[in-house]
Amino acid sequence: MLVRSLLPRLLVALGLALPALAARAGDVQVAVAANFTAPMQAIAAEFEKDTGHRAVTAFGATGKFYAQIKNGAPFEVFLAADDTTPARLEAEGDAVTGTRFTYAIGRLVLWSAKEGYVDAKGEVLTSDFRHLSLANPKTAPYGAAAMDTLAKLGLADRLRGRIVQGENISQAHQFVSTGNAELGFVALSQVFKDGRITSGSAWVVPAGMYAPIRQDAAILSRGKDNPAARAFVDYLKGAKAAAIIRAYGYAL
């Protein structure tokens, strides 16, 4: 008898809860700068667990994402590797005004997959290596930062013939990790976790050697009416996301 009396109440409760869950849960299409791959994967998993929404991610070069967005790519939120591209999209009406903010400040590192190969001051750049990997400076802010660093060191012209360019920072890292280049400029987040370099050897380039890599995010026009897009941006500003971002060597 007790079960029979409780059953109608349970059905009513479920009937109220299920529409609420359906309204709350949704997908958001997120374009993410390649340097932020590892932290974004961790943040996306926590976001889904905590909110029920799902971040569907694509990773690549900021400049290429800009072109894709202008050509109608169905992205709803953009996490760039710079602050100028989201500002440009906002000025052009492709990003929602007032949603742009800096989610991380990136750091550049000279890295080799070989233990002990890169010294603490980056003097390996004057040695007799064959290939130096970096991201395309025309489309990837970390590539531009790498060229700034070489210019500050007076090595840009000297090393130009040894540079191999990746389409984005992920490919630049891949060239080094596979041994196709002895060393390369990559994002610190690609080789750093919880306070230490995870493999190989590295020189963390002093911040004054390149323009600050302020990484901005914004809700794009296609996401302005998607509650999951708003929820994701709010989550990215929260304490749990901030802890993940710091763990990968970014500043906030």
Q: What is the mean pLDDT of each run of 10 residues along the chain (252 residues)?
A: 45 42 74 95 98 97 95 98 97 98 97 96 96 94 96 97 95 97 96 92 96 96 98 98 96 90
Domain edges within the chain: 25-105+213-247, 107-209
pLDDT in tens, 127-141: 999 999 999 999 888
| Second-level CATH architecture of 25-105+213-247 | 3-Layer(aba) Sandwich (3.40)
CATH architecture designation of domain 107-209: 3-Layer(aba) Sandwich (3.40)
Query: What pLDDT is recorded for position 20?
Result: 41
Residue 41 CA to residue 207 CA, distance in Å, equals 26
> What pTM was computed for the model?
0.81
